[in-house]
Amino acid sequence: MSKEVVLSVQGLEKSFGDQHVLRGVDIDIRRGESIVIIGPSGCGKSVLLRHMIGLHQPDKGAVYVDGVDVSHMRRRDLYEVRKKFGFLFQASALFDSMTVGENVSIGLKEHFHLSPEELRRTAEVQLDLVNLRSAIDKKPSELSGGMRKRAALARAIAMDPEIILYDEPTTGLDPITADVINDLIRSLQKRFHATSITVTHDMTSAYKIADRIAMLHEGRIVFDGAVEDVKGTENPYVQQFICGKAEGPIQTV
Ligand SMILES: Nc1ncnc2c1ncn2[C@@H]1O[C@H](COP(=O)(O)OP(=O)(O)O)[C@@H](O)[C@H]1O
Ligand SMILES: [Mg+2]
């Protein structure tokens, strides 16, 4: 694996009102790796992901993508940078009025001059990757939760992104469907050599997807290590989190 840093978060701080959510996040992500960022609900995982594509402006610090600061960028330049990214939103965020095929090809339609036939063919190829070709003419409302997730996944990868961001890809799915999604995320990363950044509180998913696991707690990265090191770590935050214990340094409400 190459050691080249593709995305670097440096000293990132963000507050909403008097709530200091990110308090100095530092993390480097290398090209081609699959990193999973774990942490309790509400700790700021989604906020961190949104900074990576310039949807939030930090109060302090910055995010660099291929060495370029994306956190203080003009909107037009940001538009170009976002082409490098695929984003799987927590709630799938499919457009209900469009078919699955139209949802998958929406980015291509926006960025390239393709005929309806070309768009459809591209959607078919993407849907094949997630075993959902038969649903191309269906509406999202006709699909199960797992199928919607797969459709959203097909859309996230349709523009051939260098970096794919997954926000809680398995939350709300049954364990078997979740496993299908985990397998897909892993196989897409291997097949296309994309960099995967996943945030989740699902440890089964984290172990399956990750090369490396980092933990976000109280606005900072409190652990960063290889998957093999997570289970044996004496880090009290990670121990409490992976064992799901109420007692420990992490306070819940
Ligand atoms: N746009 C926003 N405006 C105000 N508060 C926000 C916003 N986005 C997130 N927050 C707050 O920041 C905290 C972290 O949220 P989030 O990143 O969604 O947590 P999670 O780790 O569960 O993804 C929460 O307390 C949330 O209410
Ligand atoms: Mg979240």
- Do 54 and 167 belong together in one domain? yes
Residue 250: pLDDT band with limits 50, 70, 90: confident
- Do 70 and 178 belong together in one domain? yes
Residue nearest to atom 27 of ligand 1 (CA): 42
CA of 50 to the centre of ligand 2 (A): 10
Percent of the chain at pLDDT > 90 equals: 73
Residue 251: pLDDT band with limits 50, 70, 90: confident
Paired tokens of 141? 């409302």
CA of 108 to the centre of ligand 2 (A): 27
Find out whether the beta carbon of 41 lies less than 6 Å from any atom of ligand 1.
Answer: yes
Q: Which domain holds residue 70?
A: 1-83+163-186+194-253
- Do 20 and 102 belong together in one domain? no
Find out whether the beta carbon of 40 lies less than 6 Å from any atom of ligand 1.
Answer: no
**Average pLDDT, stretch 157-161?**
89
Residue nearest to atom 7 of ligand 1 (CA): 16
Our mutation pick for probing the ligand 1 site, out of 13, 16, 166, counting the most ligand atoms within 8 A of Cβ, is: 16
CA distance 172 to 169: 9
Residue 180 buriedness (CB in 10 A; 0-12 / 13-18 / 19+): middle
- Do 45 and 104 belong together in one domain? no
pTM attached to this predicted model = 0.92
pLDDT digits (tens, 9 = 90+) for 211-245: 999 999 999 999 999 999 998 899 999 999 998 88
Looking at residue 2, what is its pLDDT?
52
Looking at residue 148, what is its pLDDT?
93
Asked if residue 206 has pLDDT above 70, the reply is: yes
Q: Which atom of ligand 1 is nearest to the CA of 40?
A: 21
Residue 160: pLDDT band with limits 50, 70, 90: confident
- Do 154 and 251 belong together in one domain? no
CA distance 82 to 68: 12
Looking at residue 58, what is its pLDDT?
97
Residue nearest to atom 19 of ligand 1 (CA): 42
Task: Provide the number of structural domains found in the chain.
Answer: 2
User: At CB < 8 A and 24+ separation, what contacts does 107-115 make?
Assistant: 107/155, 107/158, 107/159, 108/158, 108/159, 111/83, 111/159
User: What spatial distance separates the first Cα and last Cα of the chain, rounded to whole Å?
Assistant: 41
Average pLDDT of the chain to the nearest whole number? 92
- Do 119 and 52 belong together in one domain? no
CA of 55 to the centre of ligand 2 (A): 14
Residue 253: pLDDT band with limits 50, 70, 90: low
C-alpha radius of gyration, the chain, whole number: 18
pLDDT digits (tens, 9 = 90+) for 37-80: 999 989 999 999 999 999 999 999 999 999 999 998 988 889 88
- Do 169 and 78 belong together in one domain? yes
- Report the CATH number at residue 40: 3.40.50.300
- Do 10 and 79 belong together in one domain? yes
Asked if residue 1 has pLDDT above 70, the reply is: no
Find out whether the beta carbon of 43 lies less than 6 Å from any atom of ligand 1.
Answer: yes
Q: Look at residues 142, 160, 178 and tell me which one is the last residue of a structural domain.
A: 160
φ and ψ of 33, to 5 deg: -90, 165
- Do 172 and 253 belong together in one domain? yes
Find out whether the beta carbon of 42 lies less than 6 Å from any atom of ligand 1.
Answer: yes
State how far the alpha carbon of 162 is from the alpha carbons of 53, 54, 126, in Å.
13, 16, 16
- Do 148 and 76 belong together in one domain? no
pLDDT digits (tens, 9 = 90+) for 79-90: 888 889 999 988
- Do 249 and 170 belong together in one domain? yes
- Do 231 and 244 belong together in one domain? yes
